[in-house]
Amino acid sequence: MLTVHAHPLLEIAAFETRFAAPLEAVPTPESVRVLATLSAAAPFATDDAVKKAVRDLLRQAGYKPTGRGKPASEYLLGAAAEAPLPAINIAVDACNVVSLHSGLPISVVDLDLVREPLAVRVAESGAAYVFNASGQTIDLSGLLCLCDADGPCANAVKDAQRTKTHAGTRRTLSIVWGTRALPGRAQQVANWYRGLLAQSASINDVDVRPQE
């Protein structure tokens, strides 16, 4: 179950993916790999209106989504402008191509590395976590985050290193960070995303509930 705290703009979609083998043994299908460029034919396209809506979502509680703290979807646009997005594993590759074309940030975490209960809420002032193997940290103050029993572990900017997928990952949780300014887009994007992953895994719904 995923509890979502009240937020005036957030509209998320979430689902679980179960792979029949560890990610290192699951190849990325050609249907996903061909989407790794900006020129690829895709059912969604981003624009300045989408970018503004996503940034407004992230800044609502005081976070500043600019510079190195910009939404992950904008980072992917910059990376894909120079070359196709690099292949990592099917879980991350599908996440990245869907985020690239839809303009919505997406988090994907290893479900065996998180501890329930899971909730989506705004991080408190001073919260931070390590986001890469080099030990770099991100200040999470005012940023919407997926949180587990140990604290924030993912968001629309950079996911935590402690819950990222790895060669042995078998189960993932994906969260599409949508906004009410783009009604219905989060679920539509999630449906496309699920279809890409369904070629390689089984997909399960997640029980998303508002905080009571």
Per-residue model confidence (pLDDT) at position 66: 95
**Single pTM value for the model:** 0.97
Per-residue pLDDT tens over the stretch 3-57:
999 999 999 999 999 999 999 999 999 999 999 999 999 999 999 999 999 999 9
User: Phi/psi at 202 (nearest 5 deg)?
Assistant: -100, 145
Break the chain into its structural domains and give their ranges. 9-113+163-204
How far apart CA 171 and CA 204 sit, in angstroms, is 11
Q: Which CA distances in Å does 177 have to 59, 101, 155, 162, 190?
A: 13, 14, 8, 20, 10
Residues 42-97: pLDDT tens digits?
999 999 999 999 999 999 999 999 999 999 999 999 999 999 999 999 999 999 99
